[in-house]
Amino acid sequence: MYLEDAAKRVEELRRELEEHNYRYYVLDKPSISDAQYDRLMRELQDLEGKFPELQSPHSPTQRVGGSPVREFGTVRHTVQLLSLGNAFGPDDLRDFDRRVREAAGEVEYVVELKIDGLTVALTYIDGVLSTAATRGDGVTGEDISQNLKTVYSVPLKLKTPLRRLEVRGEAYMPKDSFEKLNLEREENGEATFANPRNAAAGSLRQLDPKVTASRNLKVFAYNIIYQEGAEVDSQLASLDFLKEQGFLVNDQFRLCKNIDEVIEACLDWGEKRNSLPYEIDGMVVKVNSLAAQEELGATAKSPRWAIAYKFPAQQEETVIEDIIVRVGRTGVLTPTAVLKPVRVAGSTVSRATLHNIDMIREKDIRIGDHVLIQKAGDVIPEVVEVLAEKRTGLEKEFHMPAVCPECQAEVIRYDNEAAHRCTGIACPAKQREGIIHFVSRDAMNIEGLGPAVVGQLLDAGLIHNAADLYSLKFDDLVKLERMGKKSAENLLAAIEQSKERGLAPLIFALGIRHVGARAGKLLASNFKAMDALSKAGREDLLEISEVGPAVAESIATFFRQEQTDEFLDKLAAAGVVMVEENRQKSESLAGKTIVVTGTLHKYGRKEIEEVIEAHGGKPSGSVSKKTSFVLAGENAGSKLDKARALGVEIITEEEFLGMVGGE
């Protein structure tokens, strides 16, 4: 076949396959069999294989997931993602309605289901999907385009090639897919997800798009944030338009003439919520007219034209089978109820925190009690009340242990505290929690070292504290249960990499009381080296304006301990960087302005910028005649086109590596 004929057929196949995807995933009305679909897909794959010049990031063949990335890039949202104000009952809804009518007169509302998943922001340029991002902090999110492309309900191409369209939606996992996934994971000895929302989040934040592709995620599109070329003047029309363009739109919305109808819809769905094949955690009420929305505007945090109605927390009855005590990093003993497992709000609950002894006494909670527990959203389940009428007389009162359950050291309660604390310096629980903290993301960020592995390492006597991590050997690791060769190698590499993490995260990792990630940064930039910080007295510390007496005292005490010295010496001997590094590595990119576009294999977006700067270059976001060159990764988009148009030099990742000495 000639290229020209192949190109024609490829176009045809893509159009057909897209139409079938749409019929299947959005309209739920397939018109061909799976086998016929597979045949078309194979034909397209073959042609794209034979004629690589016909490949396209927007081809339906891309749905299976491309190659893994090392880290997600960041995306700056063109329109900030606001959050919604909450209404917890009819009164709150009436207040909202009053505020709306005072500002915009009589309005109609659209009431939609509030899908319990994750916000995604989709940008289409000239009718094709250009980026998909997570919410992040509302201003910048993570670039998860490669993952979202594997989600069939997200169109890769719009029906009409609009100049620009930005859509917000909710990515979620249907209940049945969630149950199936957890079953599989249980059989494979992997940790299960607590609820569909966590499962969806875990599936989207995968560096390997093929994993996302295997997870049956869906996206309901619910808002148009920005558009050029469409004519819509209401939320209702937006939903229609989105559906026409190929998006999956939830069809359980209701147009309400007044707030009474809104309240009715909200209460109605509160009753029916469990009958849906996906989870919802409330309703979203939106002013229908876009003109009225504009008039109402937004506060710094949320739009005035919409509100989230939150369903009351779901409660269930169960039995407290036991009360155990957990010891945290700072030695606090937390009584925890062991429950007869029960399903609440979409997940199975078998533990509830009892906070402290005062709360147990206040609610008069005893072992063996029938209790009402409640779970609201992400919050740890808690006991609402004891069903005293169900008591048999066999229930047992709980007492805080006099000695620590993990190390038998004395337990004390300071006068001004609700908590009991273990006094043992070498308490294994404190040590374990301390190590878990040390390796956590904002601290030394050692990937692949979760609580389970830390537990295994301690149990096997391979480590006693976090500094011992740096002397672990490959042979030690592969002996551990469920640790393959590959994971052991990856873990060692992650540990090695953490040595260069820098002073601020290291200070945070030490777990000094009152010293969080922010204080870590502050101390690092003031003292520049661990040595200087460790010698600082209370007075020196108080000179930093943001450090108060409690923090200063805590830091000074920490560094007075002999154990601390030993610990830091060990880290230093292992080669852990303990000074604020001058990150300048060479001048090879001096005077060069560099624009990075597309996905790179070796670096994330932030990382590559650091590398450019470390070699004297200047990273920039937009291509102009002054750009020295454009570093183009996979799936590069409009910036690449612009570079070509302006005649700016384009280099590959390999070429870049050559320039910076293989960094």
Q: How far is the CB of 114 from ligand IVH (least distance, A)?
A: 4
Which residue type does 216 have? N
Query: Is 85 a binder of ligand IVH (CB under 6 A)?
Result: no
- Decide if 187 contacts 122 (C-beta within 8 A): no
Q: Is 170 in the site for ligand IVH (CB under 6 A)?
A: yes
Least Å distance between CB 134 and ligand IVH?
A: 11
In DSSP terms, 325 is beta-bridged to 335
Question: Smaller CB distance to ligand IVH: residue 308 or 409?
Answer: 308
Name 387's Cβ contacts closer than 8 Å, sequence gap at least 6. 317, 369, 370, 371, 372
Distances (CA, A) of 624 to 489, 570, 616, 635, 636: 43, 50, 20, 20, 16
Instruction: Please report the sign of the dihedral spanned by the C-alpha atoms of residue 107, residue 113, residue 114, residue 117.
Output: negative
Output the smallest distance, CB 294 to ligand IVH, in A. 13
Q: Answer yes or no whether residue 178 interacts with ligand IVH by CB under 6 A.
A: no
State whether residue 75 is helix, strand or coil: strand
Q: How far apart are CA 53 and CA 632, in angstroms?
A: 17
Residue with tokens 């070699």: 615
* Residues contacting residue 572 through CB under 8 Å, at least 6 positions apart: 578
Candidate residues 83, 557, 563, 638; the one interacting with ligand IVH per rule CB under 6 A: 83
Q: Of the listed pieces 81-89, 351-359, 432-440, 634-642, which binds ligand IVH according to CB under 6 A?
A: 81-89
Query: Any contact of residue 223 with ligand IVH (CB under 6 A)?
Result: yes
Q: Which CB sits closer to ligand IVH, 222 or 438?
A: 222
Interacting residue with ligand IVH among 6, 40, 82, 255 (CB under 6 A): 82
Q: Quick one: which of 10, 44, 47, 84 contacts ligand IVH (CB under 6 A)?
A: 84
Return the number of the residue (119 or 177) whose C-beta is nearest ligand IVH.
119
From the CB of 457, what's the least distance to ligand IVH, in Å? 37
Q: What is the dihedral of CA 597, 599, 601, 604, to 10 degrees?
A: 80
Applying CB under 6 A, the span of 153-161, 302-310, 311-319, 409-417 interacting with ligand IVH comes to: 302-310
DSSP 212: H
Q: Using the rule CB under 6 A, is 152 a contact of ligand IVH?
A: no
Q: Helices marked H in 115-195 — which ranges?
A: 145-148, 175-187
Q: Are 618 and 594 in contact (CB under 8 A)?
A: yes
Catalytic residue among 8, 29, 50, 114: 114
Per the CB < 8 A criterion, the answer to whether 492 and 477 are in contact is: yes
As a residue count, the chain comes to 663
Interface pick for ligand IVH out of 26, 75, 259, 284 (rule CB under 6 A): 284
The tokens describing 112, both together, are 């939609």
Stretch that binds ligand IVH, among 11-19, 76-84, 561-569, 597-605 (CB under 6 A): 76-84
Instruction: Report the DSSP pairing between strands 164-172 and 218-228.
Output: antiparallel
Residue at token pair 């949202």: 77
Task: Pick between residue 84 and residue 156 the one whose CB is nearest to ligand IVH.
Answer: 84
The residue assigned the tokens 């009340």 is: 385
**Residue 308 binds to ligand IVH (criterion: CB under 6 A):** yes
Question: Distance from CA of residue 546 to its chain's centroid?
Answer: 30
**Pick 79 or 550: Cβ nearer ligand IVH:** 79
Residue 174 to residue 218: CA distance in whole angstroms: 8
Active site residue 114: yes
Q: Is residue 653 within the footprint of ligand IVH (CB under 6 A)?
A: no
Shortest separation between residue 299's beta carbon and ligand IVH, angstroms:
11
> Of 197 and 605, which CB lies nearer to ligand IVH in the complex structure?
197
From 303-311, 321-329, 382-390, 434-442, span contacting ligand IVH (CB under 6 A): 303-311
* Residue 656 touches ligand IVH, criterion: CB under 6 A: no
Q: Give the shortest CB-440-to-ligand IVH separation in angstroms.
A: 25
Q: Which of residues 96-125 bind ligand IVH (CB under 6 A)?
A: 112, 114-115, 119
CB of 305 to ligand IVH, least distance (A): 8
Question: By C-beta, is 69 or 285 nearer to ligand IVH?
Answer: 285
Task: By CB under 6 A, name the one of 30, 90, 138, 303 that touches ligand IVH.
Answer: 303
Short-list 498, 496, 495, 530, CA closest to 515: 530
For 74, counting Cβ atoms within 10 Å of its Cβ (0-12 exposed, 13-18 middle, 19+ buried), the class is middle
Tokens 């320039």 correspond to 659
The site that binds ligand IVH (CB under 6 A) totals a number of residues, namely 14
Q: Is the C-alpha dihedral spanning 67, 69, 75, 80 positive or negative?
A: positive
> Quick one: 170 or 382, whose CB is closer to ligand IVH?
170
Query: Using CB under 6 A as the criterion, which residues of the chain lie in contact with ligand IVH when the complex forms?
Result: 82-84, 112, 114-115, 119, 170, 222-223, 284, 303, 306, 308
Q: Which residues are catalytic?
A: 114
